[in-house]
Amino acid sequence: MTEQFQGYLRSDGRKGIRNTVVVAYLVECAHFVASKIVAGFEDEDVQLIGFPGCFPNEYAARVMGQLCTHPNVGAVLFVSLGCESFDKVRVSGTVARTGRPVETLVIQRSGGTAKTVETGRFWVRSALEEIANVERAPMGVDELVIGTICGGSDGTSGISGNPAAGKAFDILIGEGAACIFEETGELISCENIMAERAKTPELGEELRAAVQKAERYYATLGYGSFAAGNAAGGLSTIEEKSLGAYVKSGDSQISGLIKPGDVPPKGGLYLMDVVPDGEVRFGFPNISDNAEIVEMIASGAHMTLFVTGRGSVVGSAISPVIKICANPDTYRALEDDMDVNAGDIIEGNRSIAEVGQEIRDLVVSVAKGAQTKSEALGHREFILTYKSFDPIGPSCLPAI
């Protein structure tokens, strides 16, 4: 019997572990006004997200729609300048069809900065009251979607934090959860061993192809998914970083390949292909860690496990981030920002299995409402940029 907790029941049957009012700007020109609206709610769960571009992008439109109907979201206020290309009618319709309170303010028609801020705060206040009564329903680990990423990796990540996250994934998948790992650019050199773990040979081919696509993409850009700090931390090559990152996926069978915004159809382990399709456009696939976290959330992640060696402090809008510190020196330096000290494994104080179990138990407490370190500190980072994807192929989600 899996552990139960109280979720927020949404009209599509999915359940959330948070009940957030999201304020979303639809172009950079509306960012300031949207952030001023959010600033009026220091002590309530009101969060800022947005898309900066004025030119249309199908990926961004889809991700925005998925984020605004994420089970952790209770109500949405869109803030538009008025002349940008983002299809605000379509995205607000997507939200309205779920029964969530939704409103769109157009600055050019709402009297400018001060009046739009005032109107927006008034709307958010009433939305907070309305969603306080959202139906609660029992929820189990088998209804959770959990993402994992690593950022600020160093030579400890692949030895302690990532194997511990992989162990947590194995436990959670055993309990029926859907778990997602990603960053195909950081799986370069692992494609063959990974393909052998696929549920079907056809899926294995898709996994291999996704990594080969990433390899070509990064080769064109001239940089691998490798930051200067990775080298300072003892990592010498992208394949060394990849092998360390790959172990985050644990030992479970791989059930499917998804792209950002695709929600796993059931429990199991999924690889997210984050590298755009087609010729290289719009620059680097994910320009920083939060872009990866946002894609996890767009695919339904209730929370994200973030393994760091050098020491990241970020959280995220919409879904909490659990920070797992791989490096014992970094943990001591940044303890207030870290949820789990996987550095214990390096120092020989605890086993990978023990830390993996701690992560799994923390996932359940966070699902029950406990705040992660970054959540309590107020971190609500968010970034969404231009990308383009083709839909996944027919072999990517094999039926039972």
**Contacting residues toward another protein, per CB under 8 A:** 154-156, 158-159, 188-189, 215, 218-219, 222-224, 226-228, 231-234, 236-240, 243-244, 309, 327-329, 346-348
CB of 141 to another protein, least distance (A): 30
- The values of phi and psi at residue 102, to 5°, are -145, 145
**Among residues 122 and 223, whose Cβ is nearest to another protein?**
223
CB of 231 to another protein, least distance (A): 4
Inter-axis angle of helices 238-246 and 161-174, nearest 10? 30
Residue 192: exposure state from Cβ atoms within 10 A (0-12, 13-18, ≥19): exposed
CB of 123 to another protein, least distance (A): 46
Nearest to 15, CA basis, from 92, 73, 63: 73
**Among residues 130 and 239, whose Cβ is nearest to another protein?**
239
Inter-axis angle of helices 58-68 and 289-298, nearest 10? 60
Cβ count within 10 A of residue 130: 14
CB of 339 to another protein, least distance (A): 21
> What is the 8-class DSSP label of residue 97?
T
**Among residues 115 and 332, whose Cβ is nearest to another protein?**
332
**Among residues 9 and 221, whose Cβ is nearest to another protein?**
221
The CA-based dihedral angle spanning residues 61, 62, 64, 67, taken in that order and rounded to the nearest 10 degrees: 180
**Among residues 25 and 217, whose Cβ is nearest to another protein?**
217
Strand partners, 329: none
Q: How far apart are CA 18 and CA 36, in angstroms?
A: 22
**Among residues 1 and 228, whose Cβ is nearest to another protein?**
228
Cβ contact 168:313 at 8 Å: no
Start-end of H helices in 247-327 = 289-298
CB of 352 to another protein, least distance (A): 12
CB of 142 to another protein, least distance (A): 32
CB of 328 to another protein, least distance (A): 8
Residue 335: exposure state from Cβ atoms within 10 A (0-12, 13-18, ≥19): exposed
**Among residues 13 and 348, whose Cβ is nearest to another protein?**
348
